Amino acid sequence: MSILPILRFPDARLRRPCLPVGTVDAAVRQLAGDMLETMYHANGRGLAAPQVGVLRRLFVMDPDWKEGAPAPLAYVDPEILDAADAQHTGPEGCLSIPSVPVMVTRPEWVVLRWTGLDGQTQREKLTGAAAICAQHELDHLNGRLIIDLMDEGARCAASPCLAAMGGAA
Ligand code: NI
């Protein structure tokens, strides 16, 4: 496994919708392993393929590893089938936009369908930190970043940081 460079905002590749992975082969498993190693090394809880420059629908996450034992997960071609009406608001960070935490409101649970690294289709209701993390990472696969979800006040507060990184909210 190897640690991959993480793209930073405003890299244009972070804004592109990603293509389906399709068949899970050795190259996909290798990429997922490298992404997990990269995520842990960067002290993150989730990482999406476009953040390492691969424009495919794959993300990895381990939302609770800082509070317990590592439980690495990989999601290929994930889709949200259902989502809670009830919303959760909390701070989110992004390895591609360091030092710009954003308050984000999202459905508090989602039902996700995806392909595992064994090639099998899986389906699960995600709650708590896993639900929030999965939605954040799935947004990356559609070219959406947490700074797109800021309200006007947060946008004003964050704009000097974003300008210093070479981009605008
Ligand atoms: Ni992110």
What pLDDT does residue 49 have? 98
105 Cα–ligand 1 center, Å: 15
Q: Give the count of domains, the chain.
A: 1
Other beta carbons within 10 angstroms of residue 22's beta carbon come to 12
79 is catalytic: no
| C-alpha of residue 92 to centroid of ligand 1, in Å | 8
74 in any annotated domain: yes
Per-residue pLDDT of the chain (169 residues; tens, 9 = 90+): 799 999 999 999 999 999 999 999 999 999 999 999 999 999 999 999 999 999 999 999 999 999 999 999 999 999 999 999 999 999 999 999 998 889 999 999 999 999 999 999 999 999 999 999 999 999 999 999 999 998 888 888 888 889 999 998 7
CA triple 103-109-114, angle to 5 deg: 110
Tokens of 46: 């989730």
Q: Which protein residues have a CB closer than 5 Å to ligand 1 (ion)?
A: 94
User: Is 6 domain-assigned?
Assistant: no
Among 124, 143, 148, 151, residue whose Cα is nearest residue 61 = 124
**Residue 154 belongs to a domain:** yes
Q: What is the pLDDT of residue 40?
A: 97
Separation CA 147–CA 82 (nearest Å): 24
Give a yes or no: residue 4 inside a domain. Answer: no
Q: Which among 132, 27, 92 is positioned nearest to 35, based on CA atoms?
A: 27
Q: How far is the CA of 8 from the centre of ligand 1 (A)?
A: 10
How far, in Å, is the centroid of ligand 1 from the Cα of 35?
A: 13
pLDDT of amino acid 137 = 98
- Quote the pTM value: 0.96
SS3 state of residue 106: strand
Q: Is residue 159 part of a domain?
A: yes
Instruction: State the pLDDT at residue 99.
Output: 85
In sequence order, what are the residues at sequence separation of 6 or more whose Cβ sits closer than 8 angstroms to the Cβ of residue 105?
Answer: 87, 88, 89, 149
Domain membership flag for residue 69: yes
Instruction: For residue 169, tell me if it sits in a domain.
Output: no
Q: What is the CATH number of the domain that holds 85?
A: 3.90.45.10
Domain that holds residue 156: 12-164
The catalytically annotated residue of 37, 108, 137, 152 is: 137
